[in-house]
Amino acid sequence: MMIAVRLFARARDLAGRDMLPVELPAGATVADLRQSIRLACPALTDLLARSRIAVGDDFAEDETKLTAGVDVAIIPPVSGG
């Protein structure tokens, strides 16, 4: 399945785009996604390591399974307020 990973803030600047398409097998988890993001865009590796992944607009764990069409985003450490 194709997952379109949304990028914000420094992640967007590092990747030079606001969406990173990643191809994953059915049943893939967030941990698999992290590995695929590093391969698709090595510039994100360091920031990704200290970012959370959001699935369906909420924070997900590495074990969370992905499904086609779900919203996925890299959430670097936040700095609102």
Partner 1 sequence: MIQLTNEPIDHNALTELVRRPGCGAVVTFLGTVRDLTGDQVTVALDYDAYPQMAERKFAEIEAEVRSRWPVGEIALVHRLGHLDIGDVSVAVAVSCPHRHQAFDACRFAIDQIKELVPIWKKENWADGRTEWVHPGAG
When asked if residue 70 is in the footprint of partner 1 (CB under 8 A), the reply is: no
- In angstroms, give the least distance from the CB of 29 to partner 1: 20
Between CA 18 and CA 8 the distance in angstroms is: 7
Q: How far is the CB of 3 from partner 1 (least distance, A)?
A: 16
Q: Which two tokens stand for residue 6?
A: 């949304």
9 makes contact with partner 1 (CB under 8 A): yes
Among 2, 39, 68, 81, binds partner 1 (CB under 8 A): 81
- Cβ neighbours for 51, distance < 8 A, ≥ 6 positions apart: 11, 74, 75, 76, 77
Q: What does the binding site for partner 1 look like in residue numbers (CB under 8 A)?
A: 6, 8-10, 13, 47, 50, 54, 57-58, 71, 73, 75-81
